[in-house]
Structure formats: structure tokens, C-alpha cells
Structure 1
Amino acid sequence: MPVAEVWGIGRRLAKKLQIMGIDTALQLADTSTAMIRKHFSVVIEKTVRELRGEPCLELEEFAPTKQQILCSRSFGERITEYDDMRQAICMYATRAAEKLRKEHQYCMHISAWLKTSPFAINEQYYGNSASIKLSTPTQDSRDIIAAAVRCFDAIWQPGHRYQKAGVMLQNFFCHGVAQLGLFDEYQPRHNSEQLMSVLDRINNSGRATLWFAGQGTQQAWSMKREMLSPAYTTRVSDLPRARVC
């Protein structure tokens, strides 16, 4: 096995190792840890020990589960209308719910916030946020959108030119089970997981193949997209073009 294919090594470190005469994973495992420690980091030393069968990487050393999911963007133009901002909040809530399901998580705490520009001349600054805690964890886009809109309605103030808004999910669980009360306002939806799975599977072929009515069909608002990364695999217009002379 080439040394470049060892987890944590990569091409850059592989070149340095090859200069030292280490071309394969076996040669790396046979290398003195003292020499590795001298020329590389302690992480590479642990990699060598792992190749020898010595457990060095504890579970907590791997990337932890996300503690929150935030979907937020600045608008290309200031938003002044309630319906436009409501559509934006629904869009952010939808994206956040998609990310939550990719993490195989459920959330109980949903927040929405909005603000004007603090640098706008002759305009009073306004920024606010609101949160809702559900009685049971959910990953259903419908629940998350509904909660985000309730938060938005609590903080919306007309007469401002809004620059930015967002939706945040917190308080994650690895399953949707919780103790319910007889009179709880929120009750889990029947076949929710199956429906969201179908929705995600369809939308994986291209963003917004299916969308929720609250997101609107014609968005008068738009996000800032000057630095938007191209989507080569899902958007035909982003594919590189080659001219044949």
C-alpha cells in the first residue's frame, strides 16, 4: 500500500517520507517513532503506532457531532416586505432541516433572527431573535418551518430595510423519542421519517425539485451570491465549458 494512501498522510507528507526512503505503509510502520517524532507531528507518530496495532486514537479525538446548525445569508438587496422575509425564513428552515437529516439528528430548539445593517446611514438599526422549544425532537421540515415562522412573526417589525436573517437548530438527539404529555401542542407526525426520506431522495437529483409552499414560487428576494461556489454535479449551467477551435 503506497504511503500516500495512509489515513492522515496525504500527498504532501508522502513526498517528504519518500525522500527519507519510506514509500509504503509497511515501511512507515517499521520506522522508528523517535525519528518520526523528530521530523513530523505527534499525530503522525500516532499513525505509525496505529499501523503497528497500538490503539492511540480515542473516540473523542474524532469529529464530534454538531451541536447546532445555522443557515444564514446576507440579502442581495434589502428586504422591506413581510412576505419576502417570510419566504426567506422558510427557505433557511428548509435548508437547516435538510442538514439535520444528513447528520441523522433530531432537534428540539429552533430559532430565527433578522437584522438591518448597522452601517446604514440615516437608518435606525434593528435586530432581534426568537426561539421555540418543541416538546419532542423532530427532523421533519414541516415542523421546523412552522416553528421558524412563529419565531419570525414574533420579531418582525415593518418599516425597516433588512440586510440579513437566519434560522438555527439546537438541542440535538439521535432519535425522535421523548416523553409526551396528553395535552402537548405538538405531536409527532405519522410516517414523518419516510416522507422526509422520499423528499431528500428526490431533491438529491437537484436542489428545489420539490419545495414547500412557504418558500414561494417566484422569489423577489435573493441571497448574496458573489462568492457562491459552483455546483458542478447538480447544476448544468455551472459545468465548465471548453471551446474547440
Structure 2
Amino acid sequence: VDDQDRLLTWQDSHDQIEFFEIGNPKALTELLGLTIGVCGQVLREEGSNRFWLCHRTLGLSVWDYDSGKLIDSVQSTKAKEIGDRWTVNPISANMFAIWKDNLIELVDIGEKKSVRLLEDHDDDVTITSVIPLGEDLLASTSSSLKLGSDNVYQSSLCIWKTKERMLIKSVSTFKSGAAGVISIGKDMLVCWSSNPNNTELMVFNNELELVCNLKGHTDRIWGARKVSENLFVS
């Protein structure tokens, strides 16, 4: 929902993305240019008229929110080669991180090309979130099923140096899948688990040293978002 009471909706099985106005049952706009393929994720840029999506046919594409028209796309991406269920997050003005399974791909929408892959994860690792940490740094969370175990996961919080394609720091987090991480201020990261029995948030500094565990939830943690410096909701 945006500040003009418009909704952006999509179906990942019918190549259909529509805009609705709250109170108006008819779609205002349908996207032009989508062909056969599945949408992995749609993400709108706050405060602008752009949004992005990963698509089996288009790869990574940028759209105009007001007209519903395609602005730009990068088709030579792993998202296009492998298929659906890719997730996207902007890391700078023209650079995007997209990820699926154990692979992170950096895509330059201005240069219209995939610029590098981060593949230091093992094959059985699933990346669950990727966020920018400033120039040339990314943080990611991941989880993997322990060998010989049905329900025990090991999870990690990682920091990457993107230009060198290097994993520079990594720390184990929960004994279950790590679902996500956000930056809440200078040198401060908050991580949470996908396990419904885990009700703690872990806070790390940028050296991946554990600062504290935040307790207080009585049920599963679904997510967190920064409100202001060192203040967040979960």
C-alpha cells in the first residue's frame, strides 16, 4: 500500500500484476510486457514510483509504479536461467542483490548485466536474507539442515566484501534456521530465527560479536524493521 491508498498485488502463477485503489473494485493498471513465467518477488521502493521484480522470462526488471510500464530489465541473470522464487533487494542506486538457494547474484541495472556471484555457501545452504552494509559490504543469513538430522538446523550470519567476492566474516547463530537480519544503526545488526519455538532476537556488531539477546516475545518472531537509529519493531 502506498500513501495514495493504492495496492500493488501479484499472482505468481498467472503472470499478473495489478494496481488497485482502496474502495475501487476495478484494477487501475495492469502491467504491460509480462510473458509466460513466474514472479519470484515484487518490491516497491519507498518514496519513489519504481518497483522491482524477479521474473522467469525477464530476469530482474524495474517498473514504473504510476503507469505500470517496464523501465528496464537485465535478462542475463541466474534468475532467468534457473526460474522462479528469487528474492531481490537494492543495495545501491543501480545495484541489486538477488538470491535463491545458496547463490547471491549482484546485478547492475544501469550496465544491464550480472556483475558477480557470491558462491561460498555449501550446496545444502539456503540463503534467507541479504542486506547492504554500506559501500562494498553485504550481510546475509542462511540455514542448512545438519547431516543425519531431520529437524536440527545450523544457521549463520555472514558479511561479504562484494568486489572481491569474499566471505570475510561468519558466525553461527540459532540452532534452527536464521530467517533474517536488519541493520538498526551504525555497527549494529539484529537477527531472528524461523523456528516457532525461538522467541529471542540476537544483536551483533559489525565484527559479528554477540552484543545481547533480546527476550520478551512469547511466540514465533515473523520479522523486524528499523524505525530510527537503534530503534526497531518486531
Give yes or no for TM over 0.5.
Answer: no
TM range (shorter): under 0.3
- TM-score, normalised to structure 1, is 0.23
More strand by share: 2
TM-score by length of 2: 0.24
